Amino acid sequence: MNGNVLEWCEDDWHNNYKGAPNNGSAWIDGPGRGSRRVLRGGGYFNDARLCRVACRGGDAPSYRYRGLGFRLALSLQ
């Protein structure tokens, strides 16, 4: 379900997955959150190799670019 735009994620940026939650929840550092958030996937401006969920980067939430977006999700609990 990716490939149209890079998607903003709720997670705070970390260089690796050491210490990441293993229950599927967002990795948020708390009230003193860092200045970068995770971007996943790739969009129509990117090479095909970047259009996958495993491709990730991070940037400031204020960063704007026409190839960025987000996906709304609802948990049915």
For residue 63, tell me if it sits in a domain. Answer: yes
* Tokens 């948990």, residue located: 75
For residue 28, tell me if it sits in a domain. Answer: no
For residue 70, tell me if it sits in a domain. Answer: yes
Domain that holds residue 63: 1-16+33-77
pLDDT (0 to 100) of residue 14: 93
pTM over 0.85: no
The predicted-structure confidence for 37-58, as pLDDT tens digits, reads as follows 999 888 777 888 888 878 888 9
Phi, psi dihedrals of residue 9, rounded to the nearest 5°: -120, 160
By the 8 A CB rule, do 68 and 39 touch?
A: yes
Closest CA to 67 of 59, 75, 17, 26: 59
For residue 24, tell me if it sits in a domain. Answer: no
Q: Give how many domains the chain has, as a whole number.
A: 1
Q: How confident is the model at residue 19 (pLDDT cuts 50, 70, 90)?
A: very high
For residue 22, tell me if it sits in a domain. Answer: no
Number of helices (H), then strands (E), belonging to the chain: the values are 0, 4
Q: How confident is the model at residue 67 (pLDDT cuts 50, 70, 90)?
A: confident
